């Protein structure tokens, strides 16, 4: 099904008046392409496979027709949910939960979120009460199902959001076990960044004669996001670039992505010490701490969020103007979701990626996935010492472009960082013994830091 360039109003989609009223109160009158195509198919009762870029209103595309179903009373008096939404992360669960409550406030839809990291007694209490919509991560939901705490006898609709992410995170076996315990008469909706490969195979197993919608091919994505690439010589060079970028007046709020949880904590602390309103976000934090951090981000109390890929999906904050890939993502697909945190709701955004010469193969994979070339950029006075490598050369002997083993990696001067020096001037030394003569990020231990929790601005 192709994208139609014709504006569709929500008033023309035959939504229940109470839902339409909530949508209009939220300031929306015209549906996005994914909403305009998906809502009629879902309301007609079809199973659906849909692919759309992040930030295009995908959540409302399934939340509105799901709420429309709830506008009609169910004959069963069961307390169990009529709508089940499976999501890969706690942040995405919170986003779906918030959307359901916002658009369903006039029909008094009762929505509950069940995710890992929440105490079981609280979840047991929530599940014992009548509910209409259950938003859950697969592992925690399956746990409650096996304990007999959820009545799914009146379930009418199953929604799999970010199905590709659930596949990457290894949740699909749990999803299949959940599906096997649900009524076969349900309507099933699957939303994913891509419908190719294993996702298509899984969809055919759990959906019945689904309609397919694909909005925005990979090459058409993120036209409103300016993408930049900076090659860096070493950590010191990278830190100077980061400091320069963050003090730019055009930066309203930024997300800085790192590859590890430990690095996110350390970088957040260094940026905080340098005067930035900073917080960290990663999977080792409790749900309460993650919620508080996201609330501060939405309220503008946090200007720089340093995060791992746990934040690449499910964060919808319109004030985020910049995304900085301090470390490149492991998978090219995650690059798309990372940069999709900016440029939302028709706003423009800037996505900046740092890459060393050893990362050129990863850059090439990102370019192949997005269909867009990342042109190297330089900041006057901060140019890399080495010329930017080409990423379009033929593959070398190990499948990497121009692969050549290196044994002359630049080494940094050893020495303990001076606390009086600025963040940008702190350059880590060689990996050493962890007592101040080694890599600042790789060798500092919890004991060195007194087991302190990450500091956040508040």
C-alpha torsion angle, residues 294, 300, 305, 311 (rounded to 10): 40
Give residue-wise pLDDT tens across range 105-148: 999 889 999 998 788 999 999 999 999 999 999 999 999 999 99
Closest CA to 253 of 196, 222, 289, 296: 296
Q: Fold identical between 8-216 and 222-443?
A: yes
Give long-range contacts, CB 8 A cutoff, 24+ apart: 37-45.
37/1, 37/3, 37/4, 37/213, 37/215, 38/62, 38/65, 38/213, 39/13, 39/15, 39/64, 39/65, 40/13, 40/14, 41/211, 41/213, 42/66, 42/187, 42/189, 43/13, 43/14, 43/68, 45/187
Confidence at residue 401, expressed as pLDDT on a 0 to 100 scale: 46
Enumerate residue ranges in the chain where pLDDT < 50.
1-5, 217-219, 394-420, 427, 429-458
Angle subtended at Cα 149 by Cα 77 and Cα 62, rounded to the nearest 5 degrees: 65
Give residue-wise pLDDT tens across range 24-42: 998 888 998 999 999 999 9
Report how far apart, in Å, the C-alpha atoms of 447 and of each of 142, 451, 452 are. Answer: 37, 6, 9
Structure token digits, residue 420 = 């009086």
Confidence at residue 430, expressed as pLDDT on a 0 to 100 scale: 44
Instruction: Tally the residues of the chain.
Output: 458
Confidence at residue 438, expressed as pLDDT on a 0 to 100 scale: 41
Q: How far apart are CA 29 and CA 445, in angstroms?
A: 53
Confidence at residue 442, expressed as pLDDT on a 0 to 100 scale: 43
Give residue-wise pLDDT tens across range 214-237: 886 444 557 789 999 999 999 999
- The residue assigned the tokens 């010492």 is 385
pTM over 0.75: no
- The domain spans of the chain are 8-216, 222-443
CATH number of the 8-216 domain:
3.40.50.300
Contact 158, 207 (CB under 8 A): no
If 0-12 CB within 10 Å is exposed, 13-18 middle and 19+ buried, where does residue 234 land?
A: middle
Architecture of the domain delimited by 222-443: 3-Layer(aba) Sandwich (3.40)
What is the torsional sign of CA 344, 346, 350, 353?
A: positive
């Amino acid at each position: 099904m192709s994208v139609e360039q014709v504006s569709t109003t929500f008033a023309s989609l035959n939504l229940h008046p109470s839902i339409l009223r909530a949508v209009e109160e939220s300031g929306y009158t015209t549906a996005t392409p994914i909403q305009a195509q998906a809502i009629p198919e879902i309301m007609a009762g079809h199973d659906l496979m849909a692919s759309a870029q992040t930030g295009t209103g995908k959540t409302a595309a399934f939340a509105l027709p799901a709420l429309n179903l709830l506008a009609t009373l169910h004959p069963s008096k069961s307390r169990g949910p009529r709508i089940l939404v499976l999501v890969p992360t706690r942040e995405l669960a919170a986003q779906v939960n918030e959307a359901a409550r916002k658009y369903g406030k006039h029909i008094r839809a009762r929505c509950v979120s069940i995710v890992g990291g929440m105490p079981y007694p609280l979840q047991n209490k929530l599940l014992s009460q009548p509910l209409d919509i259950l938003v859950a991560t697969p592992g925690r939901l399956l746990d409650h199902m096996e304990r007999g705490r959820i009545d799914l006898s009146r379930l009418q609709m199953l929604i799999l959001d970010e199905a590709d992410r659930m596949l990457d995170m290894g949740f699909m076996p749990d999803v299949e076990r959940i599906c096997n315990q649900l009524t076969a008469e349900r309507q099933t909706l699957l939303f994913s960044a891509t419908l190719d490969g294993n996702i298509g195979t899984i969809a055919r197993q759990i959906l019945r004669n689904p309609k397919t919608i694909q909005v925005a091919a990979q090459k058409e994505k993120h036209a409103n996001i300016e993408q930049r690439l900076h090659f860096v010589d070493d950590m010191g060079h990278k830190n100077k670039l980061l400091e320069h970028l963050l003090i730019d007046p055009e930066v309203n709020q930024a997300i800085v992505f790192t590859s590890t949880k430990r690095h996110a904590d350390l970088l957040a602390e260094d940026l905080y010490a340098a005067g930035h309103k900073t917080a960290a976000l990663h999977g080792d934090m409790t749900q309460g701490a993650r919620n508080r951090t996201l609330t501060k981000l939405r309220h503008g109390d946090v200007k720089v969020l340093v995060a791992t890929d746990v934040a690449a999906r499910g964060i919808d904050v319109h004030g985020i103007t910049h995304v900085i890939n301090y470390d490149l993502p492991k998978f090219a697909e995650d690059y798309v979701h990372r940069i999709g945190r900016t440029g939302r709701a028709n706003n423009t955004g800037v996505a900046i990626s740092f890459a060393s010469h050893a990362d050129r193969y990863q850059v090439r994979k990102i370019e192949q996935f997005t269909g867009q070339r990342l042109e190297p950029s330089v900041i006057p006075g901060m140019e890399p010492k080495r010329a930017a490598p080409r990423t379009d050369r033929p593959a070398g002997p190990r499948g990497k472009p121009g692969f050549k083993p290196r044994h002359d990696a630049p080494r940094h001067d050893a020495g303990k960082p001076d606390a009086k020096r600025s963040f940008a001037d702190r350059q880590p030394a060689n990996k050493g013994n962890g007592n101040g003569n080694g890599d600042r990020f790789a060798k500092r231990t919890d004991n060195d830091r007194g087991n302190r929790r990450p500091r956040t601005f508040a």
